[in-house]
Amino acid sequence: MQSLNLLVSTTCLFLLLFSMHLFFAKRGNRLLNILLSVIFFARFGQILTSLLFKAGHPHALAIFHQTFTPFYYAAPACFYLYITGFLQDRKRLQYIELLHFVPTLLAVIHVIPWHISVSSDWNLVGTQLAQNGYFTLKAKTGLFPPYFHYVFRPLLVIGYLCATWIAVLRLNKKPQQLLDSEGRIWIIFFIRIATFFQLLGLIPIILKSLHMPYVNTYFIVINCLVLLLVLMYTLHKPYIFYGYLLVAVDWTRKPAGRQTGSDSILVPLETENPIRNLTTAKKINFIDAQLVDYAFAMKEIMEREQLYLHHDFQIIDLAAKLNLPVHHCSFVINKQIGKNFRDWINGYRISHFLKQYPLKSDRLTIEAIASEAGFRSQATFYNAFRKETGLMPTAYFAMRISQ
């Protein structure tokens, strides 16, 4: 029992952290961040309430179940809108799309403690949740009849699931410039995982109709274990974790640009004439051209703003400045520049150190000048220096003096 509580609590913590981070994130696509945060928050609520009714707290169950119910009805719509918004690179909802949240409004009306509604037996609610799961709840929990839960909600989930798959299966009709390969990997990965959890929630209905035994605890454990496995998997896929899961970065390919005059705005390099683009598409390798443009923009902003001087500068910070996904930055640096991000930025730091050392060596130590160049530790500096020059600093400058 303690192991189960620990597993459920850990899963709840991660889901809550992800949902809060996405909701308040200032980077990336704000609409996609919020939609994904609602999905995570609804899953957090389901697992939390399952923990409460297992622990035997009917009063806490009443509060949290009613609080999270509107999110349960919003999650299927958010799932559909997230996928379609991702595919179309939308930054805001159209007014007509607000109709998707009519079930959420009905859920809010349902949980309001109207005086005309019959008081709910939360001990019975907890028992039914523990025995049969959410989609088979037949105890009265609010204004509407019980079928608001056990009929309307499963239909809502199935309907939006089918609509979402239809949208994804049309990916082949999308132009390549609107959805890159990493975007396709993420969207297929996300819809498969979401489909698994939604179908898992519908299994109790199937088992009950077949008069087969059902143990809700097993499904809680499966939910938590799969969620943790998904998290571990994404941690080993930085372009998923940083580019999509942690924050919905603007993933569309936007050509980098060059600074013109005193204006610091990046001007697109592609022509604005779509007819010319179409006629020259066969003659020009757009992928190679974009790699060159991205690499140029990265080098320019790195040298102009001297970002390498910051000890804590990471690739995610560079991606944010260029409005590119992290995996795009990593790919360009590896493919076009020929180094990984760490070696690339340390190369700038070593170059800066070599320029500053003759000017400051009479009053500062090697380590102090290295720190000013952006190195956080001595070991990192010495390793980077030897990798760039083939020698340690003392031997390098001794050789320069002898020449």
**Is 197 inside a domain boundary?**
yes
Asked whether the predicted pLDDT for residue 286 surpasses 50, the reply is no
> Where does the pLDDT of residue 257 fall: very low under 50, low under 70, confident under 90, or very high at 90 and above?
very low
Q: Is residue 38 part of a domain?
A: yes
Are 226 and 204 part of one and the same domain? Answer: yes
pLDDT of residue 113: 79
Domain-terminating residue out of 245, 266, 287: 245
Q: Which of 6-15, 253-262, 384-393 is the least confident region?
A: 253-262
Q: Which pTM does this prediction carry?
A: 0.59
Record the tokens describing residue 327, joined without a space: 């995996």
Q: Does residue 272 fall inside a structural domain?
A: yes
DSSP state of 143: S
Q: Is the pLDDT of residue 259 over 70?
A: no
Q: How far apart are CA 71 and CA 232, in angstroms?
A: 26
Residue 115, classed as helix, strand or coil, is coil
The predicted pLDDT at position 399 comes to 83
User: What is the structure's pLDDT at 160?
Assistant: 94
Give 119's DSSP letter: P
Please say if the pLDDT value at position 19 is more than 60: yes
Contact 341, 352 (CB under 8 A): no
147 CB-side CA count, 13 A: 2
Q: In this structure, what CATH number is given to the domain that contains residue 285?
A: 1.10.10.60
- pLDDT of amino acid 285: 38
- Separation of alpha carbons 401 and 403, rounded Å: 5
Contact 122, 53 (CB under 8 A): no
CATH number of the domain within which 206 lies? 1.20.1070
H-helix or E-strand spanning residue 267: strand 263-268
Question: Is residue 251 included in any domain, yes or no?
Answer: no
Model confidence pLDDT, tens digit, residues 303-343: 888 889 988 888 888 888 888 888 778 888 888 888 888 89
Do 102 and 79 belong together in one domain? yes
pLDDT tier, 216 (very low <50, low <70, confident <90, very high otherwise): low
pLDDT in tens, 36-65: 999 999 988 888 887 776 666 667 777 888
Angle between helices 58-88 and 122-132 in degrees, nearest 10: 50
Q: What is the pLDDT of residue 182?
A: 61
Helical packing angle, 102-111 and 58-88, nearest 10°: 170
pLDDT at 80: 93
- pLDDT tier for residue 350 given thresholds of 50, 70 and 90: very high
Non-local (6+) Cβ contacts of 361 within 8 A are: 369
Residues 84 and 222 in one domain: yes
Residues in Cβ contact with 219 at an 8 Å cutoff, skipping those fewer than 6 apart? 133, 200, 203, 204
Percent of residues, the chain, with pLDDT higher than 70? 74
Residues 263 and 240 in one domain: no
pLDDT reported for residue 378: 84
DSSP 67-85: HHHHHHHHHHHHHHHHHHH
**Across 177-302, where does the E strand assignment appear?**
257-260, 263-268
pLDDT in tens, 105-154: 999 998 887 765 557 777 777 777 766 666 667 778 888 888 888 888 88
**By 3-state DSSP, what share of the chain in percent is helix, strand and coil, each rounded to 5?**
75, 0, 25
pLDDT tens across 62-91, in order? 788 889 999 999 999 999 999 988 887 788
Residue 252 belongs to some domain of the structure: no
Residue 171 has pLDDT above 70, yes or no: no
Domain boundary pick from 185, 212, 245: 245
Q: Name the domain boundary from 245, 280, 308.
A: 245
Rounded to an integer, what distance in angstroms lies between the CA atom of residue 324 and that of residue 341? 15
| 235 and 352 housed in the same domain | no
Judge if 236 and 319 occupy the same domain.
no
pLDDT of residue 24: 87
Range of the domain at 388: 257-402
Q: Specify if 250 maps to a domain.
A: no
- With beta carbons less than 8 A apart as the criterion, state whether 17 and 238 touch: no
User: What's the confidence (pLDDT) of residue 206?
Assistant: 72
In this structure, are 231 and 278 located in the same domain? no
255 is written with which tokens?
Answer: 């050509």
Residues in the chain: 403
Looking at the structure, tell me whether residues 109 and 16 fall in a common domain: yes
The verdict on 61 and 142 lying in the same domain is yes
Are residues 381 and 233 part of one domain? no
Token pair in block for residue 390: 């083939």
- Same domain? For 235 and 347 the reply is no
Do 282 and 333 belong together in one domain?
Answer: yes
Look at the chain and report how many structural domains it folds into.
Answer: 2
Domain annotation covers residue 102: yes
Within-domain flag for 115: yes
